[in-house]
Amino acid sequence: MGVVARTKYMSFTNQHIWLIGASTGIGAQLARDLAVAGAKLSLSSRDQTKLEALKSELKGDGHGVYPLDVTQQTSVDVAWVALNKAHGMPDMVIYNAGAYEPMSATRYDADTAIMVADTNFMGAFRVLEPVLPAFMARCQGHIVLTGSLAGMKGLPNAIGYGASKAGIIHLAENLRLDLAGSGIKVQLVNPGFVKTRLTDKNEFNMPFLLTPEDASARIMKGLLSDRFEINFPKRLTVLIKALRYMPDRLYYKLLRNKPAKN
């Protein structure tokens, strides 16, 4: 049964997809593209105004708006109950909630780092709280977590963000192992640099920068595949993965920040 469930959906037509982190950037573009492909979307983020505006431009009908705060379990649970009541249980859940602040250890701020980690990583646990039991009882479902190529190896100026995405990668790997044969498909999306309000904060060069439209197209293609990891762009993926196998002494010499001057 597990094999059948994992390959059942060959298109997005009439799939009910709960997209968390839908109001801007990659999430908003992914919502537009999924709607064009025939999906029925339950849209979630903290910003109800932006969600309503996005819903109004989506192709098709049957879409819903369910604002939530992923840092609060009660908020997640209320949204889950509401969207199930209105549209039935989702076929797919995409966790795309994201926060980002560039931060070096020399400019460390605990509150900011914790906020980023809570949104990017801990929020996924809160979403899984209602989703996992429901999917396991049905022996079917599709869970998609959004990591980052930045989570594959420690990088400078990424305290909080890099660690949170490393956690998401590990969580997705755990889920894939534990849910093998259960009928629940697990996938991990690891984007590189995508031009959004978050990456606009960066003051450094971002190689192979993509548009949200390009990122969404790559995610859409990956979601219909049997791949576990949806990594892009390819050239940056190859570079980051190569760094993982570089001798530590050379890696830290090449990547380390220069000491900050007071």
Give the residue numbers marked as catalytic: 161
Q: How many residues does the chain have?
A: 262
With contact defined as beta carbons under 8 Å apart, do 142 and 9 qualify?
yes
Q: Which residues on adjacent β-strands are paired with residue 188?
A: 145, 229
For residue 233, whether the previous peptide bond is cis, meaning omega lies within 30 degrees of 0, is yes
Pairing of strands 184-191, 229-232: parallel
What are the start-end ranges of the H helices in the chain? 2-6, 25-36, 48-57, 73-87, 110-117, 123-138, 161-178, 212-223, 234-244, 248-255
Could you tell me the CA-to-CA distances from 87 to 56, 118, 237 in Å, in that order?
A: 18, 28, 37
> Burial letters for 56-77: b for 16+ Cβ neighbours within 10 Å, e otherwise?
eebeeeebbbbbbbbbeeebbe
DSSP for residue 199: G
Could you tell me the CA-to-CA distances from 147 to 32, 121, 187 in Å, in that order?
A: 21, 9, 10
With contact defined as beta carbons under 8 Å apart, do 165 and 192 qualify?
no
